[in-house]
Amino acid sequence: MTSAHGVPAGMSAHVSSQTGSGKNPVPVRMLGWAILAVMAAFLLNNYLNYWQDLPGIAPIFGGKANGSLPIVWSWAQLGVYGVMVALAFVYVGKTGSVTLRQDSKRISDLNAYLIRAAFWAVVIVGVVDTVISFLRVEGLLEAVAGTDLTAELGRSQFRGAYVHMPLIALSFVIAAFTRTLGFTWLALLVVVSELLIVIGRFIFSYEQAFMADLVRFWYAGLFLFASAYTLLEEGHVRVDILYASFSRRTKGYVNAIGSLFLGVALCWVVLIIGMGGKQNIINSPILSYETTQAGFGLYVKYLMAGYLGVFAVTMMVQFVSYFMDAVADIRGEPGGRDHDSHTVQ
């Protein structure tokens, strides 16, 4: 029995499978979405542990509880992981016609939204906190905000909770209606803020701690938040001694294995070391709304600690997208990225 093109039916099915037009590789999609589901459960439990004083899952495995609540809460938190993974599997099961390329793009688009929100948060929080710090250092804040509010704005716990957090929430709303990632503009803002420091110092003999804090705040956000976008555009440094000569299929194997065992693994190391306990390097500054020693600097040091978490999350999401795209290359699915020209076909 032959197909319409004169190819034996069995051979036609084999060719269809190799070109990616056959059955979707559901296990690969499940693995990718399961990684993201476990990460989401980890972040949610991190919030429940250290902001809501739930015990965490450690007591189930003989570890120390975070709070004094009964162990039933630990089982509930462990269930969060199961629910998240189950939702990922249900999603994959209900979208059986979605290809790896399409799934990769969906995940990458989700990541682009997260990065846009982070960009807007950095810009808006930086500007607003600079204005507050300037008015405060010049003794003008009380005339604008009143005595009581001025005193509260001098406390990092108040400014972080009631000024920064609403602005960050606003950034997620703005990100939903914009499509630019804005890194060019953020780079320009870093240059402008540095130029203002130079002009203020050498022309007007004026310099305050918040000015240097703003440059560090924006610059740190620039290179940490742009990392995932740079991965998408293949802008990271790659030693091409062997890779450049590989076939597309071999490149797919290299990228798939590297994404899982180097990329995703590295991101998990950052998250676990940074957020594995209350005193860890990401959680501790955020929980205490840590600030710099400069009394009239910006109150954003705790957010800069959070940059590491944002970096790990966005990079992991992008590595999962990259993994799916690489497996699609292995299967020979049409479309995808030309790894030599850095363009999407």
Among the listed ranges 69-78, 229-238, 334-343, which one has the minimum average pLDDT value? Answer: 334-343
Of 77, 75, 74, 91, the residue nearest 36 (C-alpha)? 91
Question: Tokens 């991101």 label which residue?
Answer: 267
Asked if the model's pLDDT at residue 345 lies above 60, the reply is: no
Confirm if 331 and 20 have CB atoms less than 8 A apart: yes
The pTM of this model reads 0.86
> Please, which residues have CB within 8 angstroms of residue 250's CB and are 6 or more apart in sequence?
none
pLDDT at site 17 = 41
Q: Distances from the Cα of 117 to the Cαs of 217, 236, 310, in angstroms? A: 16, 22, 11
At residue 18, the pLDDT reads: 41
Cα dihedral: 313, 183, 301, 156 (round 10): -100
Q: What is the pLDDT of residues 116-167, one digit of tens each?
A: 999 999 999 999 999 999 999 898 999 998 999 999 999 999 999 999 999 9
pLDDT at position 65 is 86
Longest dimension (CA), the chain: 89
Instruction: Please tell me the predicted confidence (pLDDT) of residue 21.
Output: 44
The residues that bridge with 343 in the sheet, in sequence order, are 338
Share of the chain above pLDDT 90, in %: 57
Tens digit of each residue's pLDDT (9 = 90 or more) over 195-212: 989 998 888 888 888 888
Higher pLDDT, 3 or 117: 117
| Rounded to 5°, angle at Cα 187 from 185 and 192 | 90
Q: What is the pLDDT of residues 62-106, one digit of tens each?
A: 888 887 888 999 999 999 999 999 999 999 999 988 899 999 999
Angle, CA 130 vertex, CA 128 and CA 132 arms, to 5°: 70
Classify the phi-psi angles of 333: left when phi > 0, otherwise alpha if psi is within -120 to 50, otherwise beta. beta
Alpha helices in the chain (DSSP H): 9-18, 26-50, 72-94, 100-137, 141-145, 147-153, 156-159, 165-176, 183-202, 209-232, 248-258, 265-275, 283-287, 301-331
Task: Say which range, 82-96, 213-227, 253-267, 312-326, has the weakest mean pLDDT.
Answer: 213-227
Average pLDDT, the chain: 85
Pairing state between β 343-344 and 337-338: antiparallel
